[in-house]
């Protein structure tokens, strides 16, 4: 059995540590290089069959360029990318296969699928609200997962995710517009991650909820993506592609 060689970027972070621990329980995987800020990025990436990135969005451009130079497959788990940083990823994906996902949990990616189907079934009579909670050290808001949920709902409702998402509310704001998605970010304690999508209609309410209690679930998902992506054609793939969820 061939061993999949992994270059781990952001190795000293919370997710880097979780992936390192998960790899120890998988005989078909090995971490051949670990890299953090200031490390030898090109050398680390070239050593592996696949690079798993949980570093920072500031490193996105350099990581994409290094993967292009060595033709190394890439799995990206960092969140909070700007439009420009996303363009770096999209450009690189034309030459190397990339899995780009805001969340590697199997449950969360099922939540993405259910959110789309629920929005399609319930139609425009239901108001849409997203609530997410994470630990007090998380730097970006809303979370990448919450942003992805907003993008899914916007696509179904044909809304503009930049203009039609209300990030919190304060003061005399008037009645809630029908064409609006509410977004609420809570930070505190050591919460790994909680997401709710609320569909509030006339006389009834439906809520889809996912709660993560351990980073282990994200680590196993990232490793599953790493196994899946190696050998694929260049392109930008999602975790839904990895799981084979129907479109």
Q: Which residues are catalytic?
A: 134, 138
Rounded Cα distance between 99 and 237, Å, is 5
Judge: domain 4-100+215-243, CATH 3.40.50.720: yes
- The parts of the chain modelled with pLDDT lower than 50 are none
pTM higher than 0.75: yes
Residues of the chain with CATH 3.30.360.10: 106-212
Rounded Cα distance between 243 and 231, Å, is 16
Rounded Cα distance between 211 and 192, Å, is 8
Give me the chain's average pLDDT, please. 94
Q: Which CATH number fits domain 106-212: 3.90.1150.10, 3.65.10.10, 3.30.360.10, 3.30.70.600?
A: 3.30.360.10
Rounded Cα distance between 50 and 106, Å, is 20
pLDDT tens for each residue of 143-183: 989 999 999 999 999 999 999 999 999 999 999 998 999 99
Residues of the chain with CATH 3.40.50.720: 4-100+215-243
């Amino acid at each position: 059995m061939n061993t999949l060689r992994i270059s781990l970027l952001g190795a000293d972070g919370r997710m880097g540590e979780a992936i390192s621990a998960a790899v120890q329980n998988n005989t078909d995987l090995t971490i051949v290089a670990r890299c953090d800020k200031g490390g030898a990025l090109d050398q680390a990436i070239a050593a592996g069959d696949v690079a798993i990135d949980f570093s920072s969005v500031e490193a996105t451009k350099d990581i994409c360029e290094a993967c292009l130079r060595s033709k190394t497959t890439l799995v990206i788990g960092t969140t909070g990318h700007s439009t420009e940083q996303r363009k770096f990823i999209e450009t690189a994906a034309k030459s190397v296969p990339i899995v780009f996902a805001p969340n590697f949990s199997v449950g969360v990616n099922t939540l993405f699928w259910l959110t789309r189907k629920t929005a399609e079934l319930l139609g425009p009579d239901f108001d849409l609200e997203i609530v997410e909670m994470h630990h007090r050290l998380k730097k970006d808001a809303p979370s990448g997962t919450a942003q992805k949920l907003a993008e899914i709902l916007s696509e179904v409702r044909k809304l503009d995710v930049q203009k039609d998402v209300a990030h919190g509310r304060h003061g005399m704001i008037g009645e809630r517009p029908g064409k609006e998605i509410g977004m609420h970010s809570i930070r505190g304690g050591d919460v790994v991650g909680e997401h709710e999508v609320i569909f509030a209609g006339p006389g009834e309410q439906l809520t889809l909820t996912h709660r993560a209690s351990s980073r282990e679930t994200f680590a196993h998902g990232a490793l599953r993506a790493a196994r899946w992506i190696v050998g694929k054609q260049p392109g930008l793939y999602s975790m839904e592609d990895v799981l084979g969820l129907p479109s």
